[in-house]
Structure 1
């Protein structure tokens, strides 16, 4: 009777988790990287499962090469969401090519190269998530936090697999391959635990960037006020604020400024982050429609640019202190 090795399940779970949180992140430069990256995650689980679960030993030649493709794919996928394009992406083929050469010529170097690659790219990807909204400027404002969490999950997994690979090499050196299946099982259970943590404690992987406190913060100047006026005009031009896929990068392009300048000006002049600032404009329109029309809340929500009911309700309450239905009832009592 055939059994399904744990690595199959882990690879599939990780791939589906990342897909769920990257759904809707479809900028032209990132889509191909994300598709290949998710396929590589699932394929690597299948390769490990076939090798250690069914004894397909010839895959020991393929496994390091496919593993070496994952870190650069992960980095390029998330890096392509930044405000500036990736410079010379072909350079990221160097690490997989070095692993391929090591497999063919110097097998003793394979584990060392993989460990260094996974750890270096894990650090690189995690540091990318610390750069604020600019790091994911091409992502729609509503998907920015899930995308950032997915990036951090990927970075943590890269670091974990890199460190584990080094530990596994040491175990094999001193104790042979007898303990390898047990070690691989422990690795996969740990990976599942990390993904479980991701589901039940999402804030552990990051939350929405906090806005400065107060109506505005010190440092506001005439340039900020002028840029803010341009931002507001851009949002109202052709109802840009209604676009569900509106991103910081798109807003910056319409304004004629950089993503960093737009984000900083909004922070300093209003005390809000970019997402809150745009949602304030959407909520103003929602309030008007609630008062002047009989549109159902769901249709009204989509018309104002919100993609989910939970986000709409949360932002509406943040701005008005009431739920949409409460606000509509109170507005009609006044009239």
Structure 2
């Protein structure tokens, strides 16, 4: 019976985790890059597994070339979630072209070039995630901003890890011999699997966004921007759109996403996700009071997609669970929810 190579399992699991984290991403260009990246990542696991696990030596020249494509694709995919367009994406072909030329002409340079590629794009991706969630992931749905940001950071960390580990494996092979390389690669993939597992589990615990607590004083014009955003959210019940994103609100309001996010932060002390969720919770409270619909039906109707997020945001705004709100509203003791 054939054993399934560990690199293939690691690649498949990481691809599935990223896919799960990036639901709700509607940026067309970004989606293409993500699909290409996920397919290539899983394919790279197959190539590594067949090469090192089953000794298919014909794949040895292909392995570094496919590896060099992944960092640029990852960067382009996450860059596509910002409100800025990706300029001249063809520039990033330097990575696979340089590795392909090295494989053909100077194989000794393959490992150093791969190290540079992974470090360059690792730093670029990590730098991209250093801004606020709103500004970095403007094209992601509001409910997917934080998972998408965490996915970007995990990808950057894995780039650093594979850059360092590849150097370690090269040194190990030079000192001990290539016989132990499959074992070393297996250890690398176990660590990558562990990191992916930690990433996958932690967001499910429902860590609430931290309130900005009015970090900046409002500026002239902020109230007008917030009023415009509020009006846009009400048009056609836009706030109920499950896949609503900062970029979509900004486009409809005719305000740059960065300016819209900053104005809401300064004027309300909330991030954009909390600002929209306040309106959703207000509508949920009304429906709980005036209808006999279940909390799950109401949750979906007002724009939430998961019960954990709905319950967390409902409690943040009202201090109660939906069940407690409905029970208290029957007694006439439910608190009034102010509109954001």
> How high is the TM-score relative to the length of structure 1?
0.95
Judging changes above 3 Å, is the alpha-carbon distance between structure 1 residues 326 and 209 closer, same or farther for their aligned structure 2 residues? closer
- The unaligned stretches of length 5 or more in structure 1 are none
2:255 to 250, 254, 257: 257
| In structure 2, C-alpha distance between the alignment counterparts of 1:199 and 1:94, rounded to whole Å | 32
Judging changes above 3 Å, is the alpha-carbon distance between structure 1 residues 110 and 207 closer, same or farther for their aligned structure 2 residues? farther
Judging changes above 3 Å, is the alpha-carbon distance between structure 1 residues 326 and 247 closer, same or farther for their aligned structure 2 residues? same
Give the match for residue 336 of structure 2.
none
Q: CA RMSD in A?
A: 1.8
- The unaligned stretches of length 5 or more in structure 2 are 334-340
1:27-72 superposed Cα distances (whole Å, 9 cap, x missing partner): 2111111111011111111101001111001111100111011000
Trace 1:221-240 onto structure 2 (pairs within 5 A).
Answer: 221-240=219-238
1:173 Cα deviation (Å)?
2.7
Trace 1:12-161 onto structure 2 (pairs within 5 A).
Answer: 12-132=12-132, 133-161=134-162
Judging changes above 3 Å, is the alpha-carbon distance between structure 1 residues 247 and 114 closer, same or farther for their aligned structure 2 residues? same
1:209 Cα deviation (Å)?
5.3
- Whether the 8 Å CA contact 1:219–1:268 is kept in 2: the answer is yes
| In structure 2, C-alpha distance between the alignment counterparts of 1:128 and 1:58, rounded to whole Å | 37
Judging changes above 3 Å, is the alpha-carbon distance between structure 1 residues 175 and 14 closer, same or farther for their aligned structure 2 residues? same
1:203 Cα deviation (Å)?
9.5
- Whether the 8 Å CA contact 1:145–1:207 is kept in 2: the answer is no
Secondary structure of the residue that 1:7 maps to in structure 2? helix
Give the match for residue 301 of structure 1.
299
| In structure 2, C-alpha distance between the alignment counterparts of 1:123 and 1:93, rounded to whole Å | 18
| In structure 2, C-alpha distance between the alignment counterparts of 1:61 and 1:182, rounded to whole Å | 20
1:202 Cα deviation (Å)?
4.4
In terms of mean alpha carbon deviation, does 66-75 or 220-229 score higher? 220-229
1:313 to 306, 311, 322: 311
Judging changes above 3 Å, is the alpha-carbon distance between structure 1 residues 207 and 332 closer, same or farther for their aligned structure 2 residues? closer
1:166-223 superposed Cα distances (whole Å, 9 cap, x missing partner): 222222233331221221121111111211222344499x96653322xx55521331
Give the match for residue 173 of structure 2.
172
> How high is the TM-score relative to the length of structure 2?
0.93
Secondary structure of the residue that 1:58 maps to in structure 2? helix
- Whether the 8 Å CA contact 1:217–1:269 is kept in 2: the answer is no
